[in-house]
Amino acid sequence: MTIPISQCLALALLSFFVASAIADEKPRGVTYDGRSMIINGNRELLFSGSIHYPRSPPEMWHDIIRKAKEGGLNLIQTYVFWNIHEPIQGQFNFEGNYDLVKFIKMIGEQDLYVNLRVGPYIEAEWNQGGFPYWLREVPNITFRSYNEPFMHHMKKYAEMVIDLMKKEKLFAPQGGPIIMAQIENEYNNVQLAYREDGKKYIKWAAEMATGLYNGVPWVMCKQKDAPPQVINTCNGRHCADTFTGPNGPNKPSLWTENWTAQYRTFGDPPSQRAAEDIAFSVARFFAKNGTLTNYYMYHGGTNFGRTGSSFVTTRYYDEAPLDEFGLKREPKWSHLRDLHRALRLSRRALLWGTPTVQKISHDLEITVWEKPGSDCAAFLTNNHTKLPSTIKFRGQEYYLPEKSVSILPDCKTVVYNTQTVVAQHNSRNFIASEKAKNLKWEMYQEKVPTINDLPLKNREPLELYSLTKDTSDYAWYSTSINLNRHDLPMRPDILPVMSIASMGHALAAFVNGEFVGFAHGNNIEKSFVFQKPVILKPGTNHITLLAETVGFPNSGAYMEKRFAGPRAITLQGLMAGTLDISLNNWGHKVGIYGEKKQIFTEEGAKKVKWTPVSGPPPGPITWYKTYFDAPEGNNPVALKMDKMQKGMMWVNGNSLGRYWVSFLSPLGQPTQSEYHIPRAFLKPKDNLLVIFEETGGHSETIEVQTVNRDTICSIISEYRPPSVKSFERSGRQFNAIVEDLKSGAQLACPENNQVIKQIEFASYGNPDGACGNLYLGNCTSPNSLKVVEKHCLGKNTCAIPVEREAFDELSKDPCPNTFKTLAVQAKCGLP
């Protein structure tokens, strides 16, 4: 058979291209060396953010991941939460909020990588650090130690997770997004408590993990003595200065937790961390050989149900670049996005160059990454926390604000300074819903039981954790005591005092069915003493306590040996002195009636008789029920609870979590007043809202709100580098992509269908304050408002020149010798 010449040529060309493609194909997989991670043959700078799948409903995941990618991230980091996946030994749940596979696939669909923190200890301000309750009751177990029962269950769980990931082909060598995994978590914090067993355990954990799967690198955070087969990483706020570096020459410098603020516990004041401080720490870390930073958290989300650990608020890391509701917190989100772009412009020099460091003074230094004859990037640093400075580099003077790093991707042009924010600011607003107002409340009050109503009897009060087994926050305790009139004080102005020493966390006390009072501990000191005068009567007196946990502990050594609940109960001031009733025989019952009957659901609500709320507040241990329509628009939804006290919330049977408004911070304000209702929980009409109030509140003040960040601001000084968006790199070429590098004040409404409807503040001079609370200084142009309105009113986006001649004639400048700043606050809305 003769083959035509044209076909021969075609076959030859096809063979050539196939062979070339095979030759050019990068190896699939993940390796590393002392410089960086190497993914599918390519070195990478990794910008990562922690996003936890159980802390947001699946309907929010895509939007959160998309915003993370738009913020310049290429890696998402998440824990795997053992106690939600195996709440009962041998029974697994990977559905709904807990669909880990769906979450990871969704990340991969947006071309992002995953760092899977298997744990199984995760801390994460999560109930019992992620351990399921049943693990606590395994005979002879010691958590996180070289302990056979613990290691058996830890390996079994880790193997289940790894096998699931392999089955779904989610690891990078299989074509999936998972490029790294973590075993254990910050073990150095507790290792000394376990002595030799701690050393043996950490060696075993590393061997176990890499034995289960070695296709991607494994890391251990905060583990200075990490075994050779795993990478030790840094957690903290300033790892450029606190991290001593990897404990091996072939391990890269990785930062697995860069805290974007701090989690909060009930009773805490606000926790904040400036975008400038985060950017400064990241720029310094990359200048000092770092190639991965992870923002913990990038989106914190919500501790739904009873998932938060001891005293942790329902809102988690709300100060992250994406707030609890998934809205961009500005300028944090944009300032970090611009930082990632500046570092990517420096990528070639950082990954293939050689560093040199020049100390100019105690506070000033120059770090240069350079590959001779090609790529060069410089980091100019001013470490002084109060004073700006200038620095001379390669024949040019550069101005450096206090505590800042300037990034020069070509060793000439400043494209970013960590202290100089050119990004937009915003402020969050909570607006009462018009469609969900005029709520009509009904109530049902729990009955206070006596010892005769409680099935579980014991001589002394049972320990609270092991009594509830993490099935409820609540447990009833009750005893009875017979007194005659000679036992009671003779004077009417003297009452006996009931004293209860509790190991935590809170309790409400009742005598003969009447509410006596409420007391609680806090995150630092969980134990407390309750003392209140009580009215006792001749005959039988019933003393009943509603003991409460506010989450299980999540950190520290020997977590399985923690205890809670009432221990010593005495009656003081009786005629015979103090009477200890701790060993008086007590009845117990886990949970409350409405909880058992699930009266927070449509079916359960029919099992009790509800009555309209009228007159004064009905008091403690009261359930409230109402219906509301889904609020207008598409903005997130919140529940304002500022006149309630403490309890739990449900919408359409979904638990919104704990609320605790009566626990005030040192500032005299609740730590959290608004609580997230995900739109995914809502129907268009007739949404069932149920509240359990423990101590008494005003249900008529509860308000359904919508949440927005439609208040936008720009605060730009005369000195600022051009926006990093003005530059690009093509191969070895670094170029400006705009003609005018002067960046003015930029404003953009959060939604494309919005326009700037009002300028709420404008000052060109020396204004001060923050977005939502700007105020005039002693110098301002009288034309400020007019100029800004001209450029911005009625527009979706606008740019305002930050130049003196745009506001005043030079002869009419009210303060010519003042260093000027333009501050603008605008309100966006539908046209």
State the catalytic residues: 186, 257
Query: Pairing between strand 733-736 and 727-730?
Result: antiparallel
Query: Pairing between strand 178-183 and 113-119?
Result: parallel
Distance CA 187, CA 121 (A): 9
**8 contact partners, CB below 8 Å, separation of at least 6:** none
The answer to whether 252 and 292 have CB atoms below 8 angstroms apart is yes
What is the enclosing helix (H) or strand (E) of 444? strand 442-445
**802 contact partners, CB below 8 Å, separation of at least 6:** 716, 717, 718, 720, 742, 744, 745, 764, 820, 822
Distance CA 723, CA 738 (A): 10
CA torsion 629→632→637→642, rounded to 10°?
-70
Distance of CA 30 to the CA centre of its chain: 28
Nearest to 639 by CA among 690, 600, 696, 711: 690
- State yes or no: cis peptide before 299, omega within 30 of 0: no
Distance CA 811, CA 831 (A): 39
Helices (H) then strands (E): counts for the chain: 17, 46
Distance CA 279, CA 268 (A): 25
Single-letter amino acid code for the residue at 519: A
Distance CA 828, CA 815 (A): 31
Distance CA 319, CA 310 (A): 20
Please, what is the Cα angle at 740 between 736 and 742, to 5 degrees? Answer: 105
Nearest to 86 by CA among 120, 50, 114, 61: 120
CB neighbours (10 Å) of residue 679?
16
Nearest to 274 by CA among 120, 421, 136: 421
CA torsion 195→201→203→209, rounded to 10°?
-160
Following DSSP, what letter does each residue of 738-807 receive, concatenated?
SS-----EEEE-SSTT-EEEEEEEEEEES-EEETTEEE--S-B-TTHHHHHHHHHTT-SEEEE---HHHH
Distance CA 237, CA 243 (A): 10
Following DSSP, what letter does each residue of 629-666 receive, concatenated?
PPPSSSS-EEEE-TT--EEEEEETTEEEEEEE-SSB-T
User: Which residue carries 């030759």 as its tokens?
Assistant: 23
SS (H, E, C) 284-327: HHHHCCEEEEEEEEEECCECCCCCECCCECCECCCCCCECCCCC
Distance CA 610, CA 602 (A): 13
Nearest to 699 by CA among 667, 731, 727, 659: 659
Nearest to 183 by CA among 153, 233, 234, 220: 220
Distance CA 788, CA 799 (A): 9
Backbone angles phi, psi at 435, to 5 degrees: -80, -20
Distance of CA 248 to the CA centre of its chain: 31
The answer to whether 179 and 75 have CB atoms below 8 angstroms apart is yes
Residue 74, helix vs strand vs coil: coil
> What's the token pair of residue 143?
């958590």
